[in-house]
Amino acid sequence: MLRSSRFVLFLLVISLIPHWAEAAAIASLKTFIQETRTVRANFSQTLYDKSARTIQESKGTMQFERPEKFRWTYEKPHEQLIVGDGSKVWFYDRDLNQVTERPFNIAIGSSPAALLAGSSAIEDNFELIELGVQNDMEWLEAVPKSKESAFEFIQMGFSPDGTLKIMALRDNFGQTTILSFSELDKNPALPADLFKFTPPDKADVIRE
């Protein structure tokens, strides 16, 4: 797992690399999107502040089905759930028994979910930039075209066989989130109700 400050700093300055490399990572992303309808994977997530200090570490599972359906389950340290069905997105905090409901198009925006599970062409929402090879992975940067995006950029690392291994995101507050994927399964059969959500009884529901 890549958690070192040195690697975080690399993520923040990698855009300075000359863009002469072959478009391997962009090709891997497009192939991944074209050939993948569903995905199931484990993830570990680390959040760093702008000084590369660790704020939070978490783990969980994720599934998505193109177009526009996804489910992110945070198991540690706090149980949280994010579900999108193409119409709405629900954010459920089990500890607080609180649900936040948002319209899908507003909640997803130019987010990682839009990049992986969106219905539109990638270039509609992102400018894609090759970043070359680092740590035996092909890297690209996706810069949201929307000024309303919560992220400055999203960086993605693919193994030589085209498997998505890492996503790194920097938000508008200078914080960096690194998502490392493992046991990624392409095109598994996923039950339809996986992308449905009903607020639990007595949950505090906030609609935005």
pLDDT at residue 38 in the model? 94
Question: SS3 string of 131-183?
Answer: EEEECCEEEEEEEECCCCCCEEEEEEEECCCCCEEEEEEEECCCCEEEEEEEE
Residue 165 confidence (pLDDT) above 90: yes
Arithmetic mean of pLDDT over the chain:
83
Dihedral sign (CA 39, 190, 208, 59): negative
At 79-133, the pLDDT tens digits run 999 999 989 999 999 999 999 999 887 777 656 776 777 766 777 888 999 998 8
Residue 19 confidence (pLDDT) above 60: no
Residue 171 confidence (pLDDT) above 60: yes
Q: How confident is the model at residue 182 (pLDDT cuts 50, 70, 90)?
A: very high
Task: Report percent pLDDT > 90 for the chain.
Answer: 49
Exposure of 61 by Cβ count < 10 A (0-12 exposed, 13-18 middle, 19+ buried)? Answer: middle
Among 65-74, 109-118, 153-162, 193-202, the range scoring the smallest mean pLDDT is: 109-118
Measured between alpha carbons, how far is 137 from 148 in angstroms, rounded to an integer? 30
Task: Report percent pLDDT > 70 for the chain.
Answer: 84
pLDDT at residue 208 in the model? 83
Q: How confident is the model at residue 15 (pLDDT cuts 50, 70, 90)?
A: very low
Measured between alpha carbons, how far is 144 from 172 in angstroms, rounded to an integer? 12
